[in-house]
Amino acid sequence: MSEQSLVPIEQSLPHKLPLVALMGRPIFPGIFTPIMIGNPADVKVVDEAVSGDGFIGLVMLQNETETPSIGDLYKVGTAAKIVKKINLPDGGVNTFISTLRRFRVKKSLHNANPIVAAVEYLDDEEDETAEVKALTRALISEMKQISENNPLFSEEMRLNMINIDHPGKIADFIVSILNIDKTEQQKILEILNVRKRMEQVLVFIKKEQELLRIQKRIQKEINEKIEKSQRDYFLKEELKAIKTELGITTDAKSSDYQRFKDKLDAFKFEGEVKETVEQELEKFNLTEPNSAEFIVTRNYLDVIAGLPWGDPVPEFFDLKKASGILEADHYGLKDVKSRIVEYLAVRKLRTEMPGSTGPVGSIICLVGPPGVGKTSVGRSIARSLGKQFFRFSVGGMRDEAEIKGHRRTYIGAMPGKIIQGLKIVKTRDPVFMIDEIDKMGASYQGDPASALLEVLDPEQNYAFRDHYLDLPFDISRIFFVVTANTLDTIPPPLLDRMEIIQLPGYIDTEKLEIAKRYLVPKSLEKNGLRKSQAKYTKDSLLHIANGYAREAGVRNFEKNLDKIHRKLAKQIVEEEEKEKEKTGKTNAKNTGGKAAPRKFSIDRKLIEKHLGKPIFPEGDIKKADRPGMSVGLAWTSMGGDTLVIEAASVPGKEGMTLTGKMGDIMKESAAIAMTMARKLAVERYGVGAEWFDKNHIHIHIPEGATPKDGPSAGITMATALLSLFRGKIIAPNFVMTGELSLTGQVLPIGGLKEKTIAARRNRAKHIIIPRQNLRDLDDIPDYVKKGIEFHPVERFDEVLNLILPD
């Protein structure tokens, strides 16, 4: 062979190359590697290249697509020689290639299928400087460290790296074996300056070393945990063997079993309960601790063991002491206090009676507007009885499982609130408060109100069955206190099981006493003030009650007191800080103690300064001061209220318009009132019938956004209409309530106590009531009735004689 024929293959590369698109990473020059090709177009390119000179161009795809064109490829790629080709059964080929040189695409000769391009070959730049030599040593040294700590680097890779003599190819080889993103590899492929290329590769090596350090640390931590768990396991097994040899059995399961057995045996169960408990204990003893059934059984036994199955401790009653506690905690509420004392007396007699089964529970329902003290009464009852207290609210509850529990077949099953409460208080005769019973809902999950029927029925609750417990449990000794704002939404069967005690709203004198005894001291303490720092006059407290908190309860009264005391606290702190700034630290040390606390005398002027102008001005008393007006009384769930009925006539077509958001019953009542008033106007007062043909009547009740309903405004609307027809103003200081029939009878109404309190707040002197409600006056305290004259009537004529005399 002649010397002229020995030409390096890199110098014989063609300037026109068929291109193969690479889906994965780019391939660097100086590498011998296999490539799998499955795309039919690329297979065709390989076949043509093998039949020709064997050269192809390898270029990475920039935009991945099934049918790439030259526009989808990067501009820089690698020229390669196909050494061997193996056809595969699926139609693809496995080629062994030797990559030679970088090239850049100069011009597209064929855009797609196959892609052919004119190329220019690229040479390395700055590849023999001292810096490059130093970088070469650094790269090899760093890669040795990586390869020693990484089992993925084979011995062959290490030898190849050492045997490469060109710095640029060393960088290319290292990049091809590092775990680098393909776009970063493409950028390095496009760097022709060897020094810059090696610097960039060194950065990636450092990142790889950091990842390896983190990997080693994580691996070390995992190994330590595994070693510790294995060590703990072997030690526990050895300890278990030693205890077995010594006859000691103190593992968690056997310890729980013994604890449950001792506790449950002490209860001396009988019948169904004994049989079920023994079965569950045996199941618990035989079940593996790792099984799900073990936890279910353990939780079940824990609930049974935590319930108060034994008889309660003997009771010692002192009626005088109990009455004293109730009087000290609440002002007024005579019905509630009397009922509790009666209950105590009954319990005492039943306890002392020979052969008695012991005291029984009671179920009372406290009904009243918000803020009158229903919930706090429950705590006072428990304190006066010397019993444990447990409260839960059923407002918004829609799932009966909250009351009777979930069945044990469900994951996360729990007993209901009744059993949970008994487990907490650990006694069979506590005081249970069920709050907001009128606000329960119903859904596809059940009706909680129906679930309460068994709980609150003395004939059933001696053997109450919770779904979770599924054993009879006696809850008949529980004193149930139920609270509600209204009875309308409580189902009648549930209402029938409770003793109803109404808590009406408070009048201003009662609010005054409550504020002096309870609200003011409580609010002062809450806001960091001493009792001596704020003194209220009687007039100032009445001003808050009438001007800012004209409601049935005292909740807004307390909020207003809190607002005043917060502002006083702020004023005190600001004054102290200003005083410190004036005197300085040295003088403050020499004073020998703190200055006397600032005191405030709170009068009307100071109240209006802190609370603003009254929400209910003194002149805001509802009056009937012109023809066509009358004042009636209404009952709401917030307490009693006064209503002004307004009637007016305008020329026009005969008829009547009703406004003020009246309900259907009230509209019917208005129609009856119109008929009665029209009849009396024509027959008794000489109003011409033709007047009604030419005038349209309009009845309105102010506060139109508030819904109003019920028949008790019948006589009030008829009075307003007759006042309009006659052009006369009704007698002053009169308010009224009563249903009107079409024959002129005045029928009884409800809520007289709350209505009387509302009339007193409105400073009325006379109240017209149905005669059949006379019996209800006995339930109204004398201090509420004081200064008010009641006028019982049977017929509407009597109302007219009082309020619109001829």
Query: Residue 644 in contact with residue 691, Cβ under 8 Å?
Result: no
Amino acid identity of 580?
K
Tell me if residue 755 is catalytic.
Answer: yes
Tell me if residue 712 is catalytic.
Answer: yes
**What tokens appear for 413 in the block?**
């099953």
Say how far apart CA 725 and CA 692 lie, in whole Å: 10
With both helix axes pointing from N to C terminus, report the angle between 130-149 and 155-163 in degrees, rounded to the nearest 10. 170
HSE value, Cβ hemisphere, 13 Å, CA-based, for 480:
25
Query: Residue 690 in contact with residue 648, Cβ under 8 Å?
Result: no
Query: Residue 97 in contact with residue 36, Cβ under 8 Å?
Result: no
Amino acid identity of 152?
L
Of 192, 188, 183, 193, give the one whose Cα is nearest residue 120: 192
Task: Say how far residue 146 (Cα) sits from the centre of its chain.
Answer: 54
Q: Is 118 exposed, middle or buried (0-12, 13-18, 19+ CB in 10 A)?
A: middle
Number of Cβ within 10 Å of residue 574's Cβ equals 10
- Complete DSSP assignment for 342-371: HHHHHHHHHHHSTT------EEEEEE--TT
Bridge partners of residue 736, in order along the sequence: 632, 768
Whether the CA torsion 301, 306, 308, 313 is positive or negative: it is positive
Q: Where are the beta strands (DSSP E) in 62-158?
A: 76-87, 93-110, 115-122
Say how far apart CA 38 and CA 699 lie, in whole Å: 90
Say how far apart CA 431 and CA 377 lie, in whole Å: 11
Q: In degrees to the nearest 10, what's the CA dihedral of 500, 506, 507, 511?
A: 150
Q: Where are the beta strands (DSSP E) in 670-724?
A: 695-700
With both helix axes pointing from N to C terminus, report the angle between 604-611 and 538-547 in degrees, rounded to the nearest 10. 40
> DSSP H helical segments within 102-251, as ranges?
130-149, 155-163, 167-177, 182-189, 194-246
Say how far apart CA 382 and CA 604 lie, in whole Å: 39
Query: Residue 97 in contact with residue 35, Cβ under 8 Å?
Result: yes
Bridge partners of residue 115, in order along the sequence: 19
- Whether omega for the bond prior to residue 114 falls within 30 degrees of 0, making it cis, is yes
Say how far apart CA 512 and CA 519 lie, in whole Å: 10
3-state secondary structure 547-596: HCCCCCCCHHHHHHHHHHHHHHHHHHHHHHHHHHHHHHHHHHHCCCCCCC
Q: Is 587 exposed, middle or buried (0-12, 13-18, 19+ CB in 10 A)?
A: exposed
The beta-carbon contacts of 799-803 under 8 Å, at least 24 apart in sequence, are: 799/715, 799/718, 799/719, 799/736, 799/738, 799/746, 799/768, 800/680, 800/719, 800/722, 802/731, 802/734, 802/766, 802/768, 803/630, 803/719, 803/730, 803/731, 803/734, 803/736, 803/768
Count, residues in the chain: 806
Among residues 523, 669, 712, 723, the one annotated as catalytic is 712
Query: Residue 78 in contact with residue 99, Cβ under 8 Å?
Result: yes
HSE value, Cβ hemisphere, 13 Å, CA-based, for 555:
13
Dihedrals φ, ψ of 124, to 5°? -70, 150
HSE value, Cβ hemisphere, 13 Å, CA-based, for 567:
14
Active-site positions read 712, 755
